[in-house]
Structure 1
Amino acid sequence: MRVAVADVGTNSSHLLIAEAARGDAGGYRVLDALKDRTRLGECLDGLGNLTPEGEDRLASALTRFRALASGAGVAEIHVCATSALREAPNGPEVASRMLARTGVYPVIISGVREGELTYLGAAHAVELGADSVLLDLGGGSLEFARGDAARALDVLSLPLGAIRMRDAFLRADPPGRRELAALDAAVREALEPHVGRFRVRPGTRVVLSSGTAEAAAEAILARRGEEARGVNGTRLSVAELSELLEYVRNLKGAARARVPGLERRADTVVAGLATLHAALVVLGAQEFTVSEGALREGMLIEELTRLEAYSSSISARQRSVLGMAERFGANLSHSRQVAALARELLARLRALGVDLGAEGEARSVLTAAGALHEVGQIVAQSAHHKHSAYLIRHAELRGFTPREIELVALLSRYHRKSAPKLSHPEFAALSAADQALVTRWVGILRVADGLDRSHAGTARVTGLTRTRDGWQLGVQGATPLDLEGAREKADVWARAFGPLTLKAE
């Protein structure tokens, strides 16, 4: 089971490809990694919009990522975009254009979501305690997270990223004391209202995760005279961080680039170190541990955990469906999400008295169709819905009757493009009762597929109610692309049940 994840930041974008480690729950083995210095923070116009040059840089990175993932046998990359796109007014439009240009959709996540995933990544990289505080410094934002040994319980995101702070306060090279004092004061002022939430207590473990923290660890170890063969788990004092900051702030950029560990961060390291130091002092920290696990590692662990839970909880007949999906290179996370959404919609319609056939059969057929609706892409993207139907009919799915296999094939056939028609021989060959069932189930499947148009896997159904004119579907966590996809694919639903409107929550 292989997964590819990537994060798009203000300064750089990173890809990570890994597979689940056998016999190690939540464990993984990294197969490949790639870093692209996209520097999107340099490509913002006066209104904060990402410029065409920034879009080109991002498209180039995502294209390279997709090619590398494809070569590793991974069908799709899960991409999270952070501060740069999150704060750009045109961020959602850029994300949609990236899908059209590269086939990859960067999901814009909130600062809180970023902190939660980063904490998860750190929890699998270093040993956290019952009370831990994580600081994760990016180019545009600084996340704080407090939690236990496994997960974040409280998260805060502040616009205190290294690039942002450099651009706002550090004009000279090297920066003057007044500039650094102004930066320090700004960090303290921004954090002061939240100190109570993240203050260090007796027994609190403080963890830093970011490129700046790793670079600082390498530099401090070099100053100690120790060789750095990786810095994960390295414990450092705030006093040592202060001494490093005092040393590098007096160096010009070229000299900073010769300091071990700082070679690639000479332009942002003073701002990054000063921001981290100010935050640590305000919170009352005396020492901290460096984690190499961060956002993308958290994304990876979450996705692998979801897939493992999915594969271990399904029935024997659905296991044969999963085997077929894997054999034909289907995107398993998208398959799982569409199947889950279809089952949820099925259950809510049934609870409201809608006739959808035998409960067990409806769930089983919709689950299989959700998992297999895109397997035809192994033949060709064009008309892949028809290729999917052909492959399903001839795959010898175990545990399904010939009739059920045909129903799964037809649902996959109609998940996109044309609705079921009597002019289609396979549909016309069904009994009138099965034609009605297929039409209803297709209506459900198309909406479920539309709700994961971005392949982000974040949309959740929160409610379904009858209205005077039709139906209203409550959705949480959907991206703009998901909402657009569901609306576009609600045509068969309208034909089967009545018009559908979406309410984003």
Structure 2
Amino acid sequence: MREDTAMTFPARYPGAMRVAVADVGTNSSHLLIAEARGEGGNYRVLDVLKDRTRLGECLDAAGKVTLEGEVRLQRALTRFRQLSAAAGVPEVQVYATSALREAPNGAEVAERAGQETGLYPVIISGEREGELTYLGAGHSVDFGEDNVLLDLGGGSLEFARGGPERASDVLSLPLGAIRMTRAHLRNEPPTRQEVQAIQNAARGALAPHRERFAVRPGTQVVLSSGTAEAAAALLAAGGGRPPVSVNGCSVNTVQLGALLERLRDMNAGSRARLPGIERRAEIIVAGLAVLHAALEALGAREAVVSEGALREGMLIEELRRQATYVGGLSARQRSVLTTAERFGANLAHARHVTELARDLFARLVQTGERFPEEARSLLTAAAGLHEVGQIVSQSAHHKHAAYLIRHAGLRGFAPREIELVAQLARYHRRGGPKPTHPEYAALPPADRGLVSRLAAVLRVADGLDRSHAGQAHVRYLTRMPWGWALSVSGATPLDLVGARDKADLWGREFGPLTVTASNR
């Protein structure tokens, strides 16, 4: 009974879908595991984990992440993977922000972390970070027709303006609390001149963009950051016990200025004894100085604090993406999804490989390649099930997948179709089809050709998500005199290597394939 429950628990419908997301910041890294509740991005938090990686402390003179920083990052990702796996979520979507974004070796550090831990941190732009944070904040506080969000991290400060649903204008400035602490604070407690230097730097950086984010009649200003939450808790406590949650609390700009002056007069030890400040005592002064200067520059008299931020936005986006995917499935495809869940497949990876395989297939057809009518459906099923064999073992999981598919009781498929799907999954990795393979040799000639050609597509699609980051997308596939040119966007270095390594069968069936990355 327990085994059946474990195998079928990750539900097939948005009402009980589970998702895990994590963000890697300059000061700390966070994991959030949640379960969808109904529609519209509603969810219930199942577990959270915060790891104070403090990558901002692990930068050398050239701004590169040091070996100590790599160790901290990999340790955090390992813990995230273990906790999410225990919650029945095999995949964690990881986004990295300012620390890795600005480090000259950030991409290399992310790739090594992915290889070591199995979780690949996708480095996102400041604008993308702002969009996702706006989405997360909008599900934590009630957004009106015009909202301006300030999200302060360790390395950067994001501004986002928009309506109830999404941000329409986003800006990222290098004004993070850790960055400004390291750049301007030399004394303990900090001097007024040092704090003034931080505020002047914030005003100067914002000045060219002030009109874009200035407060207008009816504008709601929202703060999203650990600094803002800590300040709101101190102001709400008034010397007593701080509230359990400050989400939705209003903070007055004048009060923030007075709190900044109060904290500036204290040394780090004294600040650390204040509730909620313990672990940010060294950076709270710089963080408050930036927020106070920015609010004044924008003409904001008060702001609302949101506890929803980047990872909540990531979570909502992923839940919506999965709900859309599931909602668009046919009954036959739902049978594939049920089987994939039953065997604990990585659904996010399976979904993305399916999308890539369909895209590659469609572009082949557009160039004049001919396939039987059933080909797309068979490819879709195989892409969704190609890794189910990992429930048996990682080694030879392609062979285990073929066995499980044959005996899984897929609904809506004829016996011949099930065998073709099984063989496609069998050849998604390692060696391609050979006449010496008994099951392959037993197929009629037309089916052997179909398996080989569709397996070639599946292998490249799987390679393009080698990192399991779910970011690679096909820009174009062009037939050339010498073969094929495939351009992809969003691919990690590991994805590019994966696609090139697995293009061998494609070369045999269609001609040589060259895979290149595009920044567009």
Asked if Structure 1 and Structure 2 have the same fold, meaning a TM-score greater than 0.5 normalized by the shorter chain, the answer is yes
Q: Are 1:458 and 2:471 counterparts? A: yes
Partner in structure 2 of residue 487 of structure 1: 500
Partner in structure 2 of residue 140 of structure 1: 155
CA distance in 2, matches of 1:74, 1:129: 34
CA distance in 2, matches of 1:130, 1:189: 28
Does structure 2 conserve the Cα–Cα contact (< 8 Å) formed by 1:248 and 1:270? Answer: yes
Partner in structure 2 of residue 11 of structure 1: 27
Partner in structure 2 of residue 221 of structure 1: 236
CA distance in 2, matches of 1:502, 1:202: 52
Does structure 2 conserve the Cα–Cα contact (< 8 Å) formed by 1:356 and 1:440? Answer: no
> SS state of the match for residue 365, structure 1?
helix
- Determine which of 254, 260, 266 is the counterpart of 2:269: 254
- Determine which of 297, 318, 342 is the counterpart of 1:303: 318
Shift in Å at residue 227 of structure 1? Answer: 4.5
CA distance in 2, matches of 1:436, 1:75: 34
Instruction: Please give the per-residue CA displacement for 1:76-126, whole angstroms capped at 9, x wherever unaligned.
Output: 111111111111111121112112221211111111111111111111111
CA distance in 1, matches of 2:172, 2:481: 42
Moved more, 269-278 or 444-453: 444-453
Partner in structure 1 of residue 12 of structure 2: none
Unmatched segments (≥5 aa) in structure 1 = none
Unmatched segments (≥5 aa) in structure 2 = 1-16
Does structure 2 conserve the Cα–Cα contact (< 8 Å) formed by 1:40 and 1:50? Answer: yes
CA distance in 2, matches of 1:43, 1:497: 48
Q: Are 1:401 and 2:414 counterparts? A: yes
Counterpart code for 2:311 = R
Shift in Å at residue 225 of structure 1? Answer: 5.9
Does structure 1 conserve the Cα–Cα contact (< 8 Å) formed by 2:199 and 2:289? Answer: yes
CA distance in 1, matches of 2:138, 2:375: 40
CA distance in 2, matches of 1:479, 1:284: 41
Moved more, 179-188 or 468-477: 468-477
Q: Are 1:264 and 2:270 counterparts? A: no
Instruction: Please give the per-residue CA displacement for 1:300-342, whole angstroms capped at 9, x wherever unaligned.
Output: 1111111111111100011011001111111111111110111
How many residues in Structure 1 have an aligned counterpart in Structure 2?
A: 502
CA distance in 2, matches of 1:224, 1:205: 28
Equivalent residues in 2 for 1:344-493, closer than 5 Å: 344-358=359-373, 361-493=374-506
Equivalent residues in 2 for 1:3-402, closer than 5 Å: 3-21=19-37, 23-223=38-238, 227-358=242-373, 361-402=374-415
CA distance in 1, matches of 2:278, 2:111: 35
Shift in Å at residue 430 of structure 1? Answer: 1.4
TM-score (norm. length: structure 1):
0.97
Partner in structure 1 of residue 13 of structure 2: none
Shift in Å at residue 224 of structure 1? Answer: 7.6
CA distance in 2, matches of 1:500, 1:110: 30
CA distance in 1, matches of 2:292, 2:127: 22
CA distance in 2, matches of 1:100, 1:502: 21
Instruction: Please give the per-residue CA displacement for 1:265-322, whole angstroms capped at 9, x wherever unaligned.
Output: 1110000000111111111111111111111111111111111111111000110110
CA distance in 1, matches of 2:455, 2:292: 57
Shift in Å at residue 441 of structure 1? Answer: 0.7
Shift in Å at residue 404 of structure 1? Answer: 1.1
CA distance in 2, matches of 1:83, 1:202: 33
Shift in Å at residue 226 of structure 1? Answer: 7.5
Does structure 2 conserve the Cα–Cα contact (< 8 Å) formed by 1:446 and 1:489? Answer: yes
CA distance in 2, matches of 1:216, 1:82: 23
CA distance in 2, matches of 1:151, 1:73: 31
CA distance in 1, matches of 2:356, 2:363: 11
> SS state of the match for residue 457, structure 1?
coil
Does structure 2 conserve the Cα–Cα contact (< 8 Å) formed by 1:18 and 1:28? Answer: yes
Shift in Å at residue 503 of structure 1? Answer: 3.3
Counterpart code for 2:27 = N
Counterpart code for 1:269 = I
CA distance in 2, matches of 1:149, 1:194: 22
CA distance in 2, matches of 1:318, 1:461: 23
Shift in Å at residue 255 of structure 1? Answer: 1.0
Moved over 3 A (4+): 224-227
CA distance in 2, matches of 1:74, 1:61: 17
TM-score (norm. length: structure 2):
0.94
> SS state of the match for residue 504, structure 1?
strand
Counterpart code for 1:32 = D
> SS state of the match for residue 279, structure 2?
coil
> SS state of the match for residue 46, structure 1?
coil
Shift in Å at residue 263 of structure 1? Answer: 2.1
> SS state of the match for residue 264, structure 1?
helix
CA distance in 2, matches of 1:459, 1:148: 29
Shift in Å at residue 245 of structure 1? Answer: 0.6
> SS state of the match for residue 233, structure 1?
coil
Give percent identity, aligned residues only.
67
> SS state of the match for residue 445, structure 1?
helix
CA distance in 2, matches of 1:219, 1:227: 6
CA distance in 1, matches of 2:198, 2:266: 18
Does structure 2 conserve the Cα–Cα contact (< 8 Å) formed by 1:222 and 1:260? Answer: no
Shift in Å at residue 229 of structure 1? Answer: 2.2
CA distance in 1, matches of 2:318, 2:39: 15
> SS state of the match for residue 275, structure 1?
helix
> SS state of the match for residue 32, structure 1?
strand
Does structure 2 conserve the Cα–Cα contact (< 8 Å) formed by 1:12 and 1:35? Answer: yes
Does structure 1 conserve the Cα–Cα contact (< 8 Å) formed by 2:91 and 2:348? Answer: no
Does structure 1 conserve the Cα–Cα contact (< 8 Å) formed by 2:51 and 2:76? Answer: yes
CA distance in 1, matches of 2:300, 2:370: 61
